[in-house]
A and B are shown apart, each in its own frame.
Chain A
Amino acid sequence: MAQLTLEKLNKRYGDAAQVIKAIDLQVNSGEFVVIVGPSGCGKSTLLRMIAGLEDISGGNMYIDGTRVNDDTPSERGIGMVFQSYALYPHMSVYENMAFGLQLAKLPKDEIARRVEESARILQLEPLLQRRPKDLSGGQRQRVAIGRAIAREPKLFLFDEPLSNLDAALRVQMRMEIAALHRRLKSTIIYVTHDQVEAMTLAQRIVVLNRGNVEQVGTPLELYDHPANEFVAQFIGSPKMNLLPGTLVSAGDTESVVRLWHGKQLTVPIATPASAEGTKVKLGIRPEHIEWGTVADAPYLADVLFVEHMGNETYHYLDSGNLGEPWVVRNSRRSDIAAGETVGYSLPPEHCHLFDETGKAFARRATGNGAGRVPGIDAPPITFAEPMRTNVVH
């Protein structure tokens, strides 16, 4: 358990572009932080810099207040889980987990104790004598985690650990990792490109784009108050719809936007007077658009196509911009068919507003709390007793 501080951390390769640009970040002791971003955003490089596998070009990195820029990975006391698991193929599971401890010249009984303890936590005991090639993907993943745990590191680093697993296993391992964090209370930095993993695992998410931190916050903060268009569209699936418009009148509590088709909408968002008359984008999540009748609804659109997921339905509406339809998501079955014209409305309390540079204006409506989920009239789901999940005990 340790605190990690990054101070103006940057990375450049030769004369080429900077891949990590002056990142400041503080990860508290015991915190689970997920670094998320599209491929090529530098998230793996950042993690590898923290691990000590990549040199730090500039800035400082501290673990528990000690500057560790020039320490080797093992001196930093980190444990790392690789995307490919990186298990030593010629060693048994036991040897894989014991390797680092042997190199650290720990006494034999201490090695055995630590390996067995890690194996017990991850339910690997029956597999200790097997070779990695005889294990399934999920088991390999657990061994890779076990190898990191056995080192009793100050800092756990996970580099896209679930991306090689199939969907069902990914959900299961996600829960196991969350349970593991609750149990070990260790500081975890976890890198993924999958915003669902970020949302479900993180206490705080760091959204990275082109080597810059776009936003840091709890999952719901990022969902409800994205700082810019990038975060707004990256967090949440399907991604947020962006509708072009112009800011007609600015205000501290309310602003009026004229949308692309001339209709005006008043939203509870603060905008500075200087922004009046500028182009803006109105953001709304697919689940927040509400249907109305063609006669009454303020907006009309043609339905391009409909995807039935079973538990929910995605409608793709003609935005006038080919290839970028707007998405409406309903939590129930829908009999709307492609080719129909539908009426819809944009509930102001769910709207986001971004300026020309993509930066968000501050929303006055907080979160989803007040909003209804469109299309659902049923009472909220409650459980008679807590759900039982068969995760690590």
Chain B
Amino acid sequence: MRVTNVDTVTQAFEESDKDQPWKELGLKEDEYQSIKDILGRRPTSSELAMYSVMWSEHCSYKSSKIYLRQFGEKVTPEMKKDLMVGMGENAGVVDVGEGLAVTFKVESHNHPSYIEPFQGAATGVGGIVRDILTMGARPVAVMDQLRFGAPESADTARVVHGVTAGISFYGNCLGLPNIGGETVFDKVYQGNPLVNALAVGVMKHEDLKLAKATNPGDLVILFGARTGAEGMAGVSVLASETFDSTGPTKRPAVQVGDPFAEKVLIECCLELFYAGVVAGIQDLGGAGISCATSELASNGGKGMRVQLQDVLLRDDSLTPEEILMSESQERMMGIVPKESLEAFEAIVNKWEVEYSVLGEVIDEDRLYINWGDKEIVNVPPRTVAHDGPVYNRPVAYPSYQDALNANSSSSLKRAENPAELAAQLLAILSSPNQADKSWVTAQYDKYVMGNTALAMPDDAGMVRVSEETGLGITIATDANGKYCQLDPQQGVKLALAEAYRNVAVTGAKPKAVTNCLNFGSPENPEVMWQFKEATQGLADGCLELGIPVTGGNVSFYNQTGDVAIYPTPVVGVLGVIDDVARRIPSGWQDEGNNIYLLGETRDELDGSAWAETIHSHLGGKPPIVDLKKEEQLAQLLHGAAIQGLIESAHDISEGGVAVAIAESCLRFNVGARIWLGDLIDRDNIDMTAALFSESQARVLVAVGREDDVKFQALCEARGVPCVRIGVTDKESEALEIQGIGTMQLNEVREGWAKALPELFG
């Protein structure tokens, strides 16, 4: 039975002083007042639902907007040259040459993934893939950035199992290779794991689609899955309110994903795009129909007339407010010219996708929504979609910051003999954060589509985008919450530097940046300070490297009770490589290659894996970041890849040279003989720093003897410090480090490989 008792625009005029649950819907008093001012009356209950969800932090970016502007302002014309679509759209689009464009974005699904890890993570993948599809692109790969609580906590296992199974279930069933990502454990994420999902898509320039309704008379069509009661108000309630163990149980259903429906929807949409029958398209995620109608109309500078009773439902008893707010997955809204309707119907019928025409675009600055013959929404679309509140929240330097920075790692006890150093190396290597992540990544299909040139455990994921020429793209993401806690501005630059370097070590040229900014409550001035510092650092860093931010996502309220997570801005860098056949592997493969360490090593152990694993310590200042040096290093690697001078390259980051060496050995089970004496002498450091320092702008490379002279000349020409620290030794199946001893690779592998299986089975 259809609901008949609805609040209409007429009633809103007549019963002007009716009490409305604006507070329960997450609105502030002044926000409710501005809605009344905009409309010149109280909103109807449907309008209230739309405004409340669209003005939530998650949809409106009201606390972050003033800082995000920097990403569009701190750019040079050169940086914008290849940017086809910048911030503000569903995802940014970058010209990668050969008439192809790439769109990529990373988004959070943190709160749903704590409540219901499996569906939360699954629908996170589904949502970001639809964002990419909406731009007109075929999605070609996914990645996930996961941060869980302390590994030994029982609840962590619940979340880890659910999240990985959810990503595996949804991503594998969509047929998208999972080519990388991050898995980090830290107790600060105990009650608030971070589940970020990245997707990347490829299109021809002419296939670019925008979420716009510009042509009056065009039809508004909802297609895909039917609308049900899933994720009701999930956006405003789930994503904007902190978990509070004593709080009210305002816990709506988490969205439920059906990857089969999404796979069919992807193929159906791509066929619609190629047939040229949709003029504009928007996916339905957070805020559902409220978002899609108002954004399409507002983006196109037009209006829309919609009959809400024509929405196909799974449950006929849904109220109009619920239909407007429903977050049922696997739905799309298309703007279709009337003359294309027949062609549209032929394609959706072929894919057995359900659709209904809801209304049409009108030449008026108004969004009218009817329920049968009753008008329930009558608003200027821009006020819902784009003119939400903007806050300049109070900012305060954290009270704990100076003490934290003063508590450096310099007083921590260092190993005194070779046996102790060897034990520390093995301990770090088998700690959950540095250990083998195959327990997670083996649950993901990395082969589907047949274009994967690099995937985990390599430093970055790489896929071919043109079979004719071998043109490919590389993506790496990074974040280091500990560095950001010590210094958010420096920390985010470190994440940028590492992602940039991870792209560079594959031989690709870094080209563009996306981000997912995970922070605590914006209502906490100390968190807001972290956010301000981090956004400034990222915008400045991108300007210095000359690569633009193409889009991103902000996730606030990541905290349990009063305790915020470490600020965790995830930075993703996209690179381009002319021919994936020239990519550089991350591990050693051949006998007798010279091993070089590029870059300088300082005694930088604050916030390091060594300080955490050996001493459970976090304090001091993060490593120094020098983006000019990162750029030099990237140019060197790119040049070396083109000339085919290096056999492998591996980024040095957490765990320092020691972990990089071990990983390079374990990748293809090739041993090495290492001597660090020259490095120690040149950089005036001790053995602990040589092994475990996390100094930046460093890469480990292996060079064949025949290319040795050329390679050294290249380093000299580029001004990149280069020191030989060893040679590969395939036959030995052992890692020998002079002054420490010899470790059999199978022993090194054992602790590294079993850490996660032992924790999670």
Say whether A associates with B. no
- B interface residues with partner A (beta carbon < 8 Å): none
